[in-house]
């Protein structure tokens, strides 16, 4: 059946929307609003996370150049710790490093030069250097052997060094090994 309303527009009755339809439309609208709000919040969280990730990547790129420097610094610290261990080993045995260095510099012959002085934590001292003659090496070895600060003094190596391109000019390279005499009275040793 077809209904035709012939009344003018002002007099016509409008059809009311049933409350059930209105509630359904309202529920659908609210559900869409909640879902879109959750989706927008999730997108904002994703955007924040992407921005943090981008900033972290930039920081990593900045710090990558420092990793090589950090490695070099770690190696330098390890070397310094090893050197400190050698020196502190002598301090622990009541033989200050400066006493050893002072005594050694007084005991070498005037025509002898030290290139290296190394100390192991066990109290072993290794001296290497060069001299103008075997007699200078022998004098240095004798001086160290007679000093009460050292014991078990040995000449490990001695060899000829050519000092210039002329065969007449030569020197003697050497390595002497000794041990610190841990029972020595430092008051008597320092003044000598």
Query: What residue segments make up the domains of the chain, in order of their start?
Result: 18-92, 94-190
- The predicted pLDDT at position 94 comes to 56
- The predicted pLDDT at position 191 comes to 45
Q: 118-145 burial by CB neighbour count: b if 16+ within 10 A, else e?
A: ebeeebebebbbbbbeeebbbbbbebbb
To the question of domain 94-190 being in CATH 2.40.420.20, the answer is: no
pTM tops 0.85: no
Q: What are the pLDDT tens digits along the chain (192 aa)?
A: 777 777 777 777 666 767 888 889 889 999 999 999 999 999 999 999 999 999 988 888 777 777 777 788 889 888 888 877 766 655 555 566 777 888 888 999 888 989 998 888 777 889 999 998 889 999 999 999 999 888 999 999 998 887 666 777 788 899 999 988 876 666 554 444
Ranges of H-type helices in 93-124: 97-107
φ/ψ region of 130 (left if φ > 0, alpha if ψ in -120 to 50, else beta) reads beta
């Amino acid at each position: 059946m077809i209904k035709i309303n012939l009344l003018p527009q002002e007099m016509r009755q409008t059809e009311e929307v049933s409350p059930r339809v209105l509630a359904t439309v309202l529920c659908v609208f609210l559900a869409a609003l909640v879902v879109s709000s959750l989706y927008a919040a999730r997108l904002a969280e994703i955007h924040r996370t992407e921005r943090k990730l981008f900033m972290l990547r930039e920081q990593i790129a900045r710090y990558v150049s420092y990793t090589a420097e950090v490695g070099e610094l770690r190696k330098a610290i390890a070397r310094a710790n090893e050197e400190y261990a050698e020196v502190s080993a002598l301090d622990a045995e009541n033989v200050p490093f400066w006493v050893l260095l002072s005594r050694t510099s007084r005991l070498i012959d005037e025509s002898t030069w030290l290139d290296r002085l190394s100390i192991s934590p066990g109290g072993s001292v290794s001296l290497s250097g060069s001299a103008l003659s075997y007699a200078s090496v022998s004098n240095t070895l004798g001086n160290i052997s007679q000093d009460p600060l050292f014991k078990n003094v040995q000449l490990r190596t001695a060899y000829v060094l050519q000092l210039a391109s002329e065969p007449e000019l030569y020197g003697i390279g050497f390595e002497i090994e000794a041990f610190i005499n841990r029972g020595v009275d430092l008051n008597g040793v320092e003044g000598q």
